[in-house]
Chains A and B, each alone.
Chain A
């Protein structure tokens, strides 16, 4: 048996496929962890996870986006450390990247 061609429904089916894939990602980690007992090892692993996600997301992006982006992120982290405000960090970081790119870095 073969499926009929997606035809004019193609775009909507593509969106639906993306929506399902994304929702499964959203619930999979939570669902899977409900079967894992919270032993001390698991607890320590989960404690280390948020920082690891942040570092693992940002470091390779710096490499891909370039030196100016890396500097802007450093400036943003410094602004966050001083102000403890995400908005200040964002504005400072955006100003830094705009300045760096304007200067041609």
Chain B
């Protein structure tokens, strides 16, 4: 598939996926756990307030596994469903999660070395947290996909388990804003600026991304600003003629 793979070392060293990597992923994701637990509890509480059963709530956490999209879905949740309402919910979910398309694309050169089935499996557990961990690990020169698998599995399990007490305790955490929970993911994202910093040269695409995102957020409802801003930044980066 990849021309430069011809004559390279054996596949297992070019595309490692080790238990040691999984442990490293577990360690890297552990610092994000407190934030994820609180987020999951908040989702569980919102779901019980909307009348979802515990089983439905856990199913959603297990199979959708996208915190922001699950919380947004609670805004649209209803006791009776028509096909139109279900399709509408799917479209909203896709727009909220469309950032994953770009996040996945940014890591594709790494994933390309692995079999399709491996990618199809670990991508099920792909989240913002995974992307942040994977991007930082890659920028440090890491190559072991086990890091993403370990981090993804651990986070998935914790996300599901922590949804349950939220559903049962319900109203206790009905106002996540009071505890600053709405800021957990933004803080992790903002903190990523530091390891991604490559000096002032890299600043131009970021500035373009920021301006386009702010403008889009003003003009369009929802989460389209992430896509518009990120694409604008990437295109700017692609067409700057200085060496990357």
Could you tell me which A residues sit within 8 Å of B by CB distance? 3, 5-6, 10-30, 32-34, 38, 40-65, 69, 72-74, 76-77, 79-81, 84-87, 89-90, 93-94, 97-98, 101
The answer to whether B104 and A30 touch across the interface, beta carbons within 8 angstroms, is: yes
The listed residue (B139, B177, B210) touching A56 by CB distance below 8 A is: B210
Least CB distance from A19 to B in Å reads 4
Query: Would A29 and B205 be within 8 Å (CB), given that A13-B81, A44-B240, A65-B183 are in contact?
Result: no
Q: A24-B94, A38-B109, A45-B235 are in contact. List 6 more A-B contacts (CB 8 A).
A: A22-B94, A56-B225, A57-B229, A69-B183, A76-B190, A97-B183
The answer to whether B213 and A59 touch across the interface, beta carbons within 8 angstroms, is: yes
Nearest CB in chain A to that of B178: its residue = A101
CB neighbours (8 Å) of A57 from chain B are 99, 186, 189, 213, 226, 229-230
The answer to whether A6 and B82 touch across the interface, beta carbons within 8 angstroms, is: yes
* B32 within 8 A of partner (CB): yes
The answer to whether A93 and B230 touch across the interface, beta carbons within 8 angstroms, is: no
The listed residue (A33, A50, A54, A64) touching B108 by CB distance below 8 A is: A33
Query: Would A51 and B202 be within 8 Å (CB), given that A16-B63, A89-B191 are in contact?
Result: yes
Least CB distance from B233 to A in Å reads 3
Least CB distance from A7 to B in Å reads 8
The listed residue (B64, B83, B86) touching A22 by CB distance below 8 A is: B64
Question: 8 smallest A-B Cβ distances: which pairs?
Answer: A48-B237, A52-B233, A56-B229, A10-B81, A45-B238, A29-B104, A29-B105, A60-B217
The listed residue (A23, A41, A42, A45) touching B124 by CB distance below 8 A is: A23
The listed residue (B1, B32, B98, B187) touching A76 by CB distance below 8 A is: B187
The listed residue (A18, A50, A86) touching B69 by CB distance below 8 A is: A18
Interchain Cβ contacts under 8 Å between A and B, 7 examples: A11-B53, A14-B86, A30-B111, A33-B104, A52-B208, A53-B103, A57-B229
* B123 within 8 A of partner (CB): yes
Interface size of B in residues (CB-CB distance below 8 Å): 99
CB neighbours (8 Å) of B106 from chain A are 29, 46, 49-50, 53
* B170 within 8 A of partner (CB): no
* B168 within 8 A of partner (CB): no
CB neighbours (8 Å) of B104 from chain A are 26-30, 33
Least CB distance from B158 to A in Å reads 15
Query: Would A45 and B237 be within 8 Å (CB), given that A11-B56, A56-B225, A69-B183 are in contact?
Result: yes
